[in-house]
Amino acid sequence: MKIKILTLFPNMFEGFLNESIIKRAIDKGVVTIEAIDMRSYSQNKHHHVDDTPCGGGAGMVLACDVVDRAIKANSTDKSYKILMTPQGRCYNQGIALDLAKKEEIVLICGHYEGFDERIRSFVDDEISIGDYVLTGGEIPSMIITDSITRLLDNAIKEESYEGDSFMDGLLEYPQYTRPIEYNGMKVPDVLLSGNHALIKKFRRKESLRRTMKRRPDLIEKANLSKDDLKLMKEIEEEE
């Protein structure tokens, strides 16, 4: 996969691209990720990329001609172009799974007061990472890049993410490791039993329990089996 990030602050990505799973995925050739400075596509002698809003108002607005040239220079017919904006559809694991199937992705980072409305016509999608506003689209683009990269073949072991929160519509079950007991808190005995059927049932039940408590909205949308419903009844009786 190829991911290109169009940004006014490419230096923000230096640590992100040179650490942990992202760096290993790049080194293995699983993904190529490039942070590209949109200022280089300004035709203004001072490399201005923004201007005051038409009609007046505070702040500066990202210019459509600069962004258009940057997108055209860094995309192909295969590129899926995404604008980072708090007005976009809210990002989730399902979207991450869909994007992980793309060959090429171009992420456009907004900044300042906003961007010229005409920029929307240059992209295929608009994505928000939540109902709040950041200073720019750089951090959201890192989040999307990270969440996609870990799903790519050979980035990490498939079993490392297939039980993640949201992969099946629920929150992930609690995890434990050594020491077996710490400050009076013990690892549940079932996880030490070696009985894989019981462990699987325990994990599913705790996944349901955690989701019921923390994100009941997910329960309403989840595709639950008859066994799940039985486990939920057990949980309600225990509570």
7 and 142 Cβ atoms separated by less than 8 Å: no
Mean pLDDT of 156-182: 79
Q: Which candidate in 37, 51, 104, 113 is catalytic?
A: 113
Same domain for 147 and 190, yes or no, is no
Q: Please check whether residues 140 and 181 belong to one and the same domain.
A: no
The CATH number covering residue 94 comes to 3.40.1280.10
Position 114 scores a pLDDT of: 86
Number of domains in the chain: 2
The CATH number that applies at residue 180 is: 1.10.1270.20
Q: Choose the weakest-confidence range: 52-56, 85-89, 154-158, 190-194.
A: 154-158
> 99-146, pLDDT tens digit by residue?
999 999 999 998 877 899 999 999 999 999 999 999 999 999 999 999
pLDDT grade for 163, boundaries at 50, 70 and 90: low
**pTM of the predicted model as reported, rounded to 2 decimal places:** 0.87
Res 162: pLDDT: 59
pLDDT number for residue 119: 97
Q: Which residue has the tokens 């055209």?
A: 72
Q: What is the pLDDT of residue 166?
A: 63
Q: Answer yes or no: do 54 and 150 share one domain.
A: yes
User: Is residue 210 among the annotated active site residues?
Assistant: no
pLDDT at 209: 97
Expressed in percent and rounded to 5, the helix, strand and coil fractions of the chain are 40, 20, 40
pLDDT of the residue at 165 = 59
Residues 121 and 16 in one domain: yes
- Check whether 6 has a pLDDT greater than 60: yes
Residue 42 shares a structural domain with residue 153:
yes
For residue 106, the enclosing domain spans 2-158
Q: Of 164, 168, 172, 228, which is the active-site residue?
A: 164
Residue 161 has pLDDT above 60, yes or no: no
**Active-site residue flag, 150:** yes
Catalytic residue, candidates 86, 116, 138, 209: 86
209 is an active site residue = no
Q: Answer yes or no: do 139 and 188 share one domain.
A: no
Q: Which of 138, 150, 206, 209 is catalytic?
A: 150
pLDDT in tens, 15-70: 999 999 999 999 999 999 999 999 999 998 888 999 999 999 888 999 999 999 99
231 shares a domain with 148: no
Q: Do 16 and 121 have their domain in common? A: yes
pLDDT band at 158 (very low <50, low <70, confident <90, very high): low
Is residue 150 located within the same domain as residue 40? Answer: yes
Between CA 20 and CA 33 the distance in angstroms is 14
Whether 5 and 36 have beta carbons less than 8 Å apart is answered as yes
